A and B are shown apart, each in its own frame.
Chain A
Amino acid sequence: MPLFLPAFRLRLLGRFLSLAVVALGVDLIWGYTGLLSLGHGIFFALGGYAIAMFLNLQLPPGQLPEFFTLYGVKSLPLLWQPFHSLPITLLALVIIPGLVAGLLGYLIFRNRIKGVYFSILTQAALLVFYNFFNGQQKLINGTNGLKTDTQTIFGLLVSDPKVQFTIYEITVLALLLIYLLCRWLTSGRFGRLLIAIRDDETRVRFSGYDPTWFKVLVFSISGAIAGVAGALYTVQTGIITPSSMEVAFSIEIVIWVAVGGRATLVGAIIGTLLVRLAQSFLSEQFPDVWLFFQGALFLTVVTVLPNGILGGLGQLMTALGWRPRLATYPAIEADPEIQQERELLEHEQ
């Protein structure tokens, strides 16, 4: 693939692939666990900020990142100190989003808040983080965000084509690894439990499991995945700003998953690539009407194609006589016992 594409398109593809990583995380919690998070931008941005802070500290000793001097900050804030070292940064961009997600999830799930309430609370949390990061001019350069493309890594400029190509390769590798991780998580006992929580949480609780901890765990894993995606995306776009915590972006992620097909994992990747490609094409051609198209896309996906592209393909295959593997227990209407009872009742009338 890299051989056929011009450099500009390749950079675009790299960005899309890193966005596909966050879509995988959303698929894990929305598709499999039934929790619609509208706040994944938080974790995405946290990962992005972690790597950006590391890159901004690649300076001669004793010097501070440029924006600090603008606001009269003399010494490096405590928050920045750990990001001098690469290993800690790499750990931080997984652990910080994971921890934040875990804590938020625990506080919400503990009270069995779910469904739409959960979505709204995550969205509110997103807005809170957005406001907070926007307001902290002295600490993290507020609205302007942190630039990374003019920084150096191992003595090379980050925006250098060679470095960018390496990052592209890392992105592909990360996407593959995270896909395998999600596949592994969802295929075993843990995955079946997640699906059970999605389909009937009360029944899971009555069976002796505590769904809270499973939900906290999966939300935190999903947050960590979003953190990785944010870091990859940041080094490829060259900047991280609070705008990646806008409400619209987090909902878009959900739509990529919905377009590709929920609970398929592959669908999340396909959906992201398709929608982003369409977006970059349409917004180049007709910049004014992209929002119309996006809105229409939301409506069509939800009303006409509720199972996404892969789900639609699956339906087509079923119609052609292909028997799909059942991933969940049959809906109550398809239950043979219930059908039998229905028929009995009808005969009695």
Chain B
Amino acid sequence: MSILLSGIFDGVSIGSVLLIAALGLAVVFGLMGVINLAHGELIMLGAYTTFVVQNVFKPLGEPWFSLYIFVALPLAFLVSGLVGLGLEKGIIRYLYGRPLETLLATWGVSLILQQFVRSVNGLMVLAILSFCLLCFGGLWIIQRRSDWPTVKNKARTILIPLSLALATVIGILLYQTQQPALVKPWFSARNVDVTAPAWLRGGLPIGDFQLPYTRIFIIILTIICVFGTYWFLNKSSWGLRIRAVTQNRTMSACLGIPTEKVDALTFALGSGLAGIAGCGISFLGSVGPNTGQNYIVDTFMVVVVGGVGNLLGTIVAALAIGVINYLVIVGSSMFALSLASAQAPSDIVEFFQFFATTSMAKVIIFALIILFLQIKPAGLFPQKGRTAEL
């Protein structure tokens, strides 16, 4: 029994991480109809931020090290949110109304982010900084001219390649110096581990098994995030605007809601939530450049099952997927064990053992999702409204 209980508990905690990640994805998808394949990499960035913060706090000694997590969480939110904002402003803005192209573009971004984490070093950061300085500084100077609207496009087409070329030249020149501080990669391709602070190690003993504190922490974090998002969407004025644009973009624009700002804000918020999810993930296992890939498809499944732009659906779907995943593994292995002890025919025991693996759990979950979609094609709680589609 206790195996089953701890299995459910593990399932809930994985489901919680999925939930934080899926919240961001669902809000963005509901608002803009955009699937962000780089969402997994935003999770990864959050996890790496936690790692960096931890490394900064380590030399400070004990009373400080226990508290690093309270710095890491907002920082992860901020880093992922800012990267998301840049993504929206730089690329996705130009692709609205073309969801499939956005899918491909964000996949490109996710590849770049993965490789960035693998090979980032001081040199690259300097090159990127000089690019930003040249490009945006130049734009800022030209912006103050009175004929800005007429030269806008020309200025951009000249400035961006020019600053790109200059930044590359600076990078190559600096590379010649071979300073180890500049050339050495920061993270490399290997996985890194985050140490949980002392008060998160160990677990809460219940009966004959333990509830690990890290998982309890993640669940609490999820509850806070869900309530925070709920409050933001339903009580704040920007949340009202976001919901308005989600329901009817054109009409909201007519009523004077700045839809572009709403888009950018929502994207930053969704990305920030991914960062927090990354912070949670860093406590569950080691973190590497591929971390995002492992979670992204599960997250999408949550969005597909939960329905678009619907908090309740997302919550139920995330928890269900997380729990079923563990139930399949734990349940069938337990069943196989009990059958084996009851001297059942070996074929039947083997049959259940066959299902007691992570890969088979994925297969079963997918089959269940496809079955579920046969009954409710628009997710758990579809948006009501008149439409010729669906």
Q: Point out residues on A near B: beta carbons under 8 Å.
A: 30, 36, 38, 107-108, 110-113, 115-117, 119-121, 123-125, 127-128, 131-132, 134-135, 202, 247-248, 251, 254-255, 258, 288-289, 291-292, 294-299, 301-303, 306
Q: Given A112-B377, A120-B35, A303-B91: A128 and B363 within 8 A (CB)?
A: yes
30 A-B residue contacts at CB 8 Å? Answer: A38-B103, A107-B370, A111-B373, A111-B377, A113-B377, A116-B29, A119-B35, A120-B35, A121-B304, A125-B366, A127-B362, A128-B366, A131-B359, A131-B363, A132-B362, A247-B297, A251-B107, A255-B104, A291-B111, A291-B112, A291-B118, A292-B111, A292-B115, A294-B108, A296-B108, A297-B108, A298-B107, A298-B111, A302-B108, A306-B101
With a 10 A CB-CB cut-off, give which of B91, B111, B357 has the most chain A CB atoms: B111
The stretch from B11-19, B92-100, B312-320 touching chain A is: B92-100
Which among B300, B357, B362, B374 is the interface contact of A123 at CB below 8 angstroms?
Answer: B300
- Are B91's CB and A132's CB within 8 A? no
Pairwise interchain contact A258-B359, C-beta atoms closer than 8 A: no
On chain B, the residues within 8 Å of A110 by CB distance are 374
Q: Which B residues are CB-close (under 8 A) to A301?
A: 104
Question: If A112-B389, A116-B35 touch, does A294 touch B111 (CB 8 Å cutoff)?
Answer: yes
A113 neighbours in B (Cβ, 8 Å) = 373, 377
The chain A residue with its CB closest to the CB of B119 is A288
A119→B103 contact, CB < 8 A: yes
B342 within 8 A of A: no
Query: For residue A142, which residue of chain B has the nearest CB?
Result: B359
Cβ of B138 under 8 Å from chain A: no
Query: B105, A132: Cβ atoms under 8 Å?
Result: no
Nearest opposing residue in chain A for B29, CB measure:
A116
Is B179 in the interface zone, CB < 8 Å from A?
A: no
The answer to whether B95 touches A291, judged by C-beta atoms less than 8 angstroms apart, is: no
A292 and B108 alpha carbons, distance in the complex (Å): 9
Residues of B within 8 A of A131 (CB): 358-360, 362-363
Using an 8 Å CB-CB cutoff, how does the interface string of B365-390 with A read, 1 for contact, 0 for none? Answer: 01001100110010000000000111
Q: How many Å lie between the Cα of A295 and that of B105 in the bound state?
A: 8
Complex: chain B residue closest to A119, CB-CB: B103
* CA distance in complex: A292, B373 (Å): 37
Cα–Cα distance between A123 and B303 once the two chains are bound (Å)? 14
Chain B residue at minimal CB-CB distance from A131: B359
| Known A124-B301, A127-B362: A295·B112 in contact at CB below 8 Å | yes
In the assembled complex, B109 has its CB within 8 A of some CB on chain A: yes
Within 8 Å by CB of A36, from B100, B116, B304, B366, lies B100
Pairwise interchain contact A299-B377, C-beta atoms closer than 8 A: no
In the assembled complex, the CB of A125 is this many whole angstroms from the nearest CB of chain B, namely: 7
Q: Does B114 belong to the interface (CB within 8 Å)?
A: yes
Contacts of B331 in A (CB 8 A): none
* CB-contacts of B45-94 with A (<8 A): 91, 94
The answer, among A119, A125, A289, A295, for a CB contact under 8 Å with B109, is A295
**Interface flag for B33 (CB, 8 Å):** yes
What residue in chain B is nearest A203 (Cβ atoms)? B388
Q: Return chain B residues, CB-CB under 8 Å to A289.
A: 115, 119
Contact B366 A124 (CB under 8 A): yes
Q: Closest CB-CB distance, A328 to chain B, in whole Å?
A: 16
Q: Give the residue name and chain of the A residue nearest to B299 (CB).
A: A120
| Contacting pair B111 A295 (CB below 8 A) | yes
* Besides A295-B115, A296-B108, 15 new A-B residue pairs in contact (Cβ under 8 A), listed by A number: A36-B100, A112-B390, A115-B99, A120-B297, A121-B304, A124-B366, A127-B297, A128-B366, A131-B358, A254-B104, A289-B119, A292-B116, A294-B108, A294-B111, A298-B111
Q: How far is the CA of A231 from the CA of B297 in the complex (A)?
A: 27
Instruction: Say whether, besides A116-B33, A116-B103, A303 and B109 are in contact (CB < 8 Å).
Output: no
Report if A303-B111 is in contact (Cβ < 8 Å); known contacts: A116-B99, A132-B360, A135-B360: no
Chain B residues contacting A116 (CB-CB under 8 Å) are: 29, 33, 35, 99-100, 103
Chain A residues with CB under 8 Å of B100's CB are: 30, 36, 115-116, 119
Contact B95 A302 (CB under 8 A): yes
> What residue of chain B has the Cβ atom nearest to residue A254's Cβ?
B104
A30 to B370, CA, bound (A): 22
Residue A132 contacts which of B33, B363, B369 (CB distance < 8 angstroms)?
Answer: B363
A202 pairs with B389, CB closer than 8 A: yes
Quick check: A202 and B94 within 8 Å, CB to CB?
A: no
Q: Which residues of B contact A30 (CB under 8 A)?
A: 100
Given A111-B373, A131-B358, A288-B119: A298 and B300 interface contact (C-beta under 8 Å): no
> In whole angstroms, what is the CA distance A298 to B91 when docked?
12
Q: Which residues of B contact A107 (CB under 8 A)?
A: 370, 373-374
Say which residue of B35, B105, B110, B377 sits within 8 Å of A302 (CB atoms): B105
